Structure 1
């Protein structure tokens, strides 16, 4: 008989999914999730609408398999009562052949069912996974600054993998268990209604005892899961490159080892308790499986309840009875399975339902990069971050002429980087507009904006891939000659060529095998490969030492040639030759002019230069 029943999870509960399976109790986290973000069964079933034929076939196979699986006990009854005592060879061969045929057919149907259910589930999960990834990619920066990366990874992997179990396990087990319980109960009543009544008396306490032991195991597993999560966090924090550097410089190694040892000891004890609880559960079920047939044999042997029952009937009834317990437990857990399953869908839908603040327009305006002049216009722009007490930008009115180099300076928090982020449309202004050659960025697609605007930030991000793959991130179809040309322009080709594997060298996690200046020049080469007409340099050299800064600055000057460049600067010495310097304070433009003009004016810029000179002398 092929059934998919609710079994205890030997690896402990997963996020929101295992709670109702091993502990037979709805997780509080699942209830809280559904209260915060309810999800209807109609929305879930819509996901499977394109696969309704496959799902109908799976359900049909489950029902047919469950019905066919009821035949062996009846065939066994006739074997014992008729074929064997009377040495009826034709009947014997027919009955034995029937038993074998039932096994072959149910096994074959089980293979088909598994294939169909898994294929359907994987297709639905693929759609959800890709939709969620694409949707999250379109969320604003603020979402990622307030959301832990681990949570996003968990929803994209753990939750969606758990939902696969909903399709191939929970849904099929519900249908299989319900069908099996109903069919088995009818068959038992047909064989002997008296023994069926005895089963009704014995089963409730047996089920209660099993659920009780399972709850105890669930409690221990929950504690072990929490301890294991803490250990994983300690490993991530203590053995990552940044974590090791921090521990060594702070002398925290012994403290981290002590903390990890304590967590490991706790986990050891909890795992022992979990194994013993699991052993008790298995022992309890074994006792139940022995007690129930024993009581049935006893009842069959008593004159009051046996009533001349044949041996075949008794064997057939016992076989049905032994196959009833697990499906019945699964039926009792249907409500829990539905709740935990809906909680998983709720977690995914919660993210899918988030509005996209920065989206492509319905009828976008197209600007060809080769034809763009590159004028950038901030037209009375105001932007207020959620929860902030004052605007990050307040009525900013600024024009960056095509082909010019305009620098933006100011104290920390003055709004410099926010201004730069608007050009690449990482944010949209709350009031006013940002325009390229007179076209509002909100009237362009995000892909077109990224083609027009190249950004180089203070701390470039490199993928854990080869140098060539990192550079092709900007232009997937770039040729080897184009890659080399971009690297030469960024003054990094000689460094790469000197490596044993050249451009096939893996940069390492976050590019840790390269110095800050080398990473910055690799990022410049990547931007240059995209060849944007507008360039935004957001404090691109502020984290570098003076010597490295000079080499990167030379590369930046080559990169900026012939482009409109907006430079966000912390070190004022790097922008003295800019065509125009804009000084910001508290989200407003307070001064603008050349370096000489602003110094002569003796205003805010002059104060910043004096403060910078004082810091250099003090250093």
Structure 2
């Protein structure tokens, strides 16, 4: 039986609950056919019991046996027929539902695909795809359908017995109620938490495995392969221990269930003997009928315990799916920005984890059109978060970021018209050079592509290739050096022609000579653009108009690099430290 937790989850659910009404007709037929399957199984045993007894008691007329024979055949054919039809209808219902769930999941992920990992790890995504959708599927096939059908059969049996004896019907109301209510509730209490823990461990395995596989080379190169295996084995061991405890409790529960059904069968035999033996006519033939009809009930009621204890895991899956849509929805603006664009950051606050405090705390800044700004700060100081907020990929908890008075979150996909981004590791796709450049502007001509390549210093390199712009780039662009990949990405930005460019530490991992040359290329090529450059050290910052330093979410320093170098002690210390680090490189 579903517990309170999943009922609470369903109240605000927008993923699963709507399918109850959308496919209500199919749902009705699935439940009806499921009930008829169990009814036919019970009726088959009931008629068979009567037929055996009647055949052994020297019937007066062949019709007394012929009718039960026909009914036995009818119910014998009906049970697998109804069961087959129920499987077709219920699985058709569930497959339609899960296919739409997967479609919705992909659409939600696709709408934020580039920045999805900022909210979810790869293992979380695998867990959503591989686990949660399957759990939702089982919610219907293993919990909702069997539970409703069992309750319908339970009511039918009690009402049917009431026609013969309300006293015995009340006894069965209690005993079968233990099977339908008490034992499932006990399973939730005993094993519900363990099943939740089992699912949490499995999700953790997804995360650990993806982390370890993506970083397996680091494990190997550091000669800690044994530690990698040990960490995985420890998690798997915990999963097995939880599973073993669950299985042990389930064996106890199943034993009690079987004993209870044995008691029900014996009590039915005693009641039927008292009710029908000694009565005139052939009423004694009904004893076997009632006793044999008890056994199919076990098939209907026994799965309820497993169904009940899984409800918490279903609830967790539904919560995870609904959390994908928890981000506030903003109506895109249809306004078009013209002329110089000024960015105003007003009392901006953003927090990932309330316990850890804000990453950016009441930040106020203004970036003028054409200004070149270098943003410095220690790791975790909020520099990259600021870029995400500038792009509208994150929404601040308070305050705002506006372009010419319009919040950036309202531009939606149109933000690409105004803001271009160069990441730390720009990606080149396994297609031609021209197609890679067209990512910046699909309508760019070959002449414009060559011009962009010339501006970033790659025209001669590409022209020397046998197929020129049609040269295929291998996966991830590995045939090109790090500096060349960055220059190709810069050529995309040139074709995109956005007035504001965000540089997110684009020179990380490059040697000092390549880094300096690339920085000079950025500033000379993008001289007419607003540049907001996040960097972790001072190499090349003298080319910026303004340097700002963010620490603990606050703006602690701002000014012209030359003026800061002459008058600011903190900046002078940073220059000394950075010069030492540069020499070490």
Q: TM-score under structure 1 normalisation?
A: 0.68
Mapping for residues 463-612 of structure 1, pairs under 5 Å: 466=430, 471=436, 474=439, 491=458, 503=472, 505-507=474-476, 516-517=482-483, 520-521=486-487, 523-524=489-490, 527=493, 530-550=496-516, 552-553=518-519, 556=522, 560=526, 563-570=529-536, 572-577=538-543, 580-584=545-549, 587=555, 590-592=558-560, 612=578
2:30, 2:442 → 1: CA distance? 44
3-state SS in 2 of match to 1:543: coil
Note closer, same or farther for the CA distance 1:472–1:273 as it changes in structure 2 (3 Å cut). farther
Give the conservation status (yes or no) of the 8 Å contact 2:499–2:529: yes
3-state SS in 2 of match to 1:384: strand
Give 5+ residue unaligned stretches, structure 1. 1-5, 7-19, 21-25
2:87, 2:542 → 1: CA distance? 74
Q: Structure 2 residue aligned with 1:322, among 273, 295, 307?
A: 295
Give the conservation status (yes or no) of the 8 Å contact 2:135–2:313: no
2:232, 2:99 → 1: CA distance? 41
Deviation (angstroms), 1:324:
1.9
Deviation (angstroms), 1:452:
2.2
What's 1:366 paired with? 336
What's 1:455 paired with? 421
Give the conservation status (yes or no) of the 8 Å contact 2:501–2:529: yes
Deviation (angstroms), 1:423:
4.3
Q: Tell whether 2:143 aligns with 1:176.
A: no
Give the conservation status (yes or no) of the 8 Å contact 2:40–2:75: no
2:245, 2:229 → 1: CA distance? 24
1:276, 1:204 → 2: CA distance? 24
1:389, 1:95 → 2: CA distance? 74
Give the conservation status (yes or no) of the 8 Å contact 1:583–1:589: yes
Note closer, same or farther for the CA distance 1:353–1:296 as it changes in structure 2 (3 Å cut). same
Q: Structure 1 residue aligned with 2:26, among 54, 65, 84?
A: 54
Q: TM-score under structure 2 normalisation?
A: 0.71
Give the conservation status (yes or no) of the 8 Å contact 1:133–1:156: no
Give the conservation status (yes or no) of the 8 Å contact 1:460–1:523: no
Q: Tell whether 2:135 aligns with 1:129.
A: no
Mapping for residues 305-454 of structure 1, pairs under 5 Å: 306-307=277-278, 312-328=285-301, 344-350=317-323, 352-356=325-329, 359-361=330-332, 363-367=333-337, 375-379=340-344, 381-386=346-351, 394-401=363-370, 406-408=372-374, 410=376, 412=378, 420-421=387-388, 423-426=390-393, 434-435=402-403, 438=404, 440-442=406-408, 445-454=411-420
Note closer, same or farther for the CA distance 1:92–1:514 as it changes in structure 2 (3 Å cut). farther
1:209, 1:598 → 2: CA distance? 74
1:448, 1:526 → 2: CA distance? 17
Query: What CA deviation, in whole Å up to 9, does each residue of 1:509-556 have, x standing for no partner?
Result: xx9998754654564455456453432223311432124325644764
What's 1:11 paired with? none
Note closer, same or farther for the CA distance 1:526–1:165 as it changes in structure 2 (3 Å cut). farther
3-state SS in 1 of match to 2:11: coil
Residue range with higher mean Cα deviation, 567-576 or 597-606: 597-606
What's 1:13 paired with? none
Give 5+ residue unaligned stretches, structure 2. none
1:611, 1:100 → 2: CA distance? 87
RMSD over aligned CA atoms reads 5.5
Deviation (angstroms), 1:258:
4.7
Deviation (angstroms), 1:587:
1.9
Give the conservation status (yes or no) of the 8 Å contact 1:163–1:344: yes
What's 2:136 paired with? 163
Give the conservation status (yes or no) of the 8 Å contact 2:269–2:287: yes
